[in-house]
Homo-oligomer: A and B are copies of this chain.
């Protein structure tokens, strides 16, 4: 995002608008690709359309992603799952609004990068889970992309550190810490997949309900509030994962 803004600034104020140097950058390409994915769906993201969106020849993208579309996909997956970036961007936006608005939300930890997190282990896990869910939901069209190999980025390790540290503080050790973190991440990812799969449809079973499915029929009109169900399930999982739960 930073380089995106800088590039735009550089083009409009300093350099003459020549046919080269159209102000591309990996970040800008990713952001533009996500705009297409969010608006039209993953299948409509093509190199040519991506080029068009940036008013550039499609082949220009290959200069920033020499390995082609697969590499672009990987970068998108990393971008989407980078909770820290998403959270920081959000806070900056809030702060910008706050300058007009005057009062913050009583925030004590505003701005301090990598400040010691004084919250309890369970609060840290809760908010990591909520943030990660929000990040995935924000670009749910890119969800199929993050099924490939796990990025070994700093962002990924940062999330893992947070989880390991929290579960350790909760009293777990060794294998239990690793397993608990895997279970938590599995739950959050799966919940987003579940929610996206459910799509917009309210009543999940329009037809097909005969006598063989009495319990489903009985609960047919029990709506599923995804946000509430997620939070509830998260509490249950955490309760099951820690010894004194």
Q: Which residues of A contact B (CB under 8 A)?
A: 114, 143-144, 146-150, 152-154, 157-158, 160-161, 164-165, 168, 174-175, 177-180, 182-183, 185-191, 193-194, 196-199, 204-209, 212-216, 219, 222, 224, 228-229, 232-233, 235-241, 245
Contact = CB atoms under 8 A, between A and B. Distances in A.
A229 to B, nearest CB: 4
Contact of A233 (B150, B165, B183, B206): B183
Given A215-B165, A236-B237, A237-B237, A197 B146 contact: yes
Contact of A157 (B149, B209, B224, B237): B209
A209 B152 CA distance: 11
How many copies of the chain does the oligomer comprise? 2
Contact of A164 (B183, B189, B219): B219
Contacts of A239: 239-240
Most buried by B among A150, A154, A233: A233
5 contacts: A144-B147, A147-B193, A150-B197, A164-B216, A179-B224
Nearest to A177: B219
A239 B240 CA distance: 6
B224 A182 contact: yes
Contact of A213 (B143, B161, B187, B229): B161
